[in-house]
Amino acid sequence: MQNCFLHSALAQIPVILTLQDRNPHSPTYGCFDRNFWHYKIIDFPSGMAQEFVFPLALAYHTDASENRFYKQDALKQWVAAGIRYAADAGHRNGSCDDYFPFECAGGAAAFSLLACMESYQLMKFSDQHMLDFFKVRADWLAHHHESGRLSNHQALIALCLEKAGQLLNTDQWETERQQRLEKVLSWQDSEGWFYEYEGCDTGYLTLTLGCLAQCYLHRPNDSILASLRKGIMFLLDFIHPDGSFGGEYTSRNTYNYFPHGFELIGSVIPEALELNDRFLIGLQNQKNAAYGDDHIIGHHTWSYLLAWQHFNTNRPALRPIPKEERKWHRNAGLLIDRHNDTTLYIALNKGGVFRLFHQGSLVCSDTQFSIVTARGKKNANAVAHLVGEYDLNVEDDCVTVSGTFGWAKQKQMTPLNLIILRLIMYGGGRFFPDLVRKLLQKLLITGKQEAPFTFTRTFQRRGDRWQINDTISATSWKDVQAAGLGGHQTSIYVVMSRTYQDSQLEPWTDYTTAIQNLQDGEDFRLERIFPQEQM
In angstroms, the CA 192 to CA 269 distance is 15
Average pLDDT for 138-153: 92
pLDDT on residue 534: 53
**377 or 121, which is more confident:** 121
Q: What phi, psi does 471 have (nearest 5°)?
A: -130, 130
pLDDT at residue 535 greater than cutoff 60: no
Residue type, 504: Q
Summarised one tens digit per residue, pLDDT across range 434-462 is 777 777 766 666 777 899 999 999 999 99
Q: What is the pLDDT of residues 129-143, one digit of tens each?
A: 999 999 999 999 999
Of residues 23, 49, 53, the one with CA closest to residue 118 = 53
**Average pLDDT over every residue of 464-472:** 96
Res. 310: pLDDT tops 80: yes
Q: Is the pLDDT of residue 501 over 80?
A: yes
User: DSSP readout, 289-344?
Assistant: PB---TTTHHHHHHHHHHHHHT--SS-PPPPPPPSEEEEEETTTTEEEEEETTEEE
User: Which backbone phi and psi does 374 adopt, to 5 degrees?
Assistant: -70, 130
Closest CA to 239 of 323, 143, 65, 355: 355
- Please give the pLDDT value at position 533: 67
Would the pLDDT of 410 be above 90?
no
Beta bridge mates, 337: 326, 344
d(CA 462, CA 483): 28
Distance between CA 453 and CA 474 in Å, rounded? 5
Give the other-Cβ count within 10 Å of 508's Cβ: 11
**How far is the CA of 390 from the CAs of 100, 366, 502, 504, in angstroms?**
36, 17, 30, 26
Furthest CA-CA distance within the chain: 75
Rounded percentage of the chain residues whose pLDDT exceeds 70: 98
pLDDT of residue 287: 85
User: Mean per-residue pLDDT for 357-382?
Assistant: 94
Q: Alpha carbon 306 to chain centroid distance?
A: 19
Q: Which of 247, 149, 146 is nearest to 197 (CA)?
A: 149
Dihedrals phi, psi of 225, to nearest 5 degrees: -60, -40
Q: List CB contacts of 380: < 8 A, sequence separation 6 or more.
A: 372, 373, 374, 407, 408, 451
155 pLDDT more than 60? yes
Please, what is the average pLDDT of the chain? 93
368's CB contacts (< 8 A; 6+ apart) are: 350, 351, 352, 353, 383, 384, 385, 455, 457, 485, 489
Model pTM?
Answer: 0.94
Of 213, 143, 217, 205, the C-alpha closest to 180 is 143
> Mean pLDDT over residues 392-403, rounded?
96
Give the model confidence (pLDDT) of 162-207 as tens digits: 999 999 999 999 999 999 999 999 999 999 999 998 789 999 999 9
pLDDT at 49 over 50: yes
CB within 8 Å of 200: residues ≥ 6 apart: 189, 191, 193, 194, 250, 251, 329, 331, 332, 333, 334
User: DSSP per residue over 53-101, as a string?
Assistant: HHHHHHHHH---TT-TTTT-HHHHHHHHHHHHHHHHHS-TTS---SSST
187 and 226 Cβ atoms separated by less than 8 Å: no
* The predicted structure's pLDDT at residue 99: 86
3-state secondary structure 460-515: EEECCEEEEEEEEECCCCCCEEEEEECCCCCCCCCCCECCECHHHHCCCEECHHHH
- Over residues 398-425, the mean pLDDT reads 87
pLDDT score for 148: 77
Determine the Cα–Cα distance for residues 321 and 187; give it in Å rounded to an integer: 29
Rounded (10°) CA dihedral 296, 299, 301, 302: 150
Please compute the mean of the pLDDT values over residues 297-302 and round it to a whole number.
94
What's the chain's length in residues? 535
Q: Which residues pair with 530 in a beta bridge?
A: 466
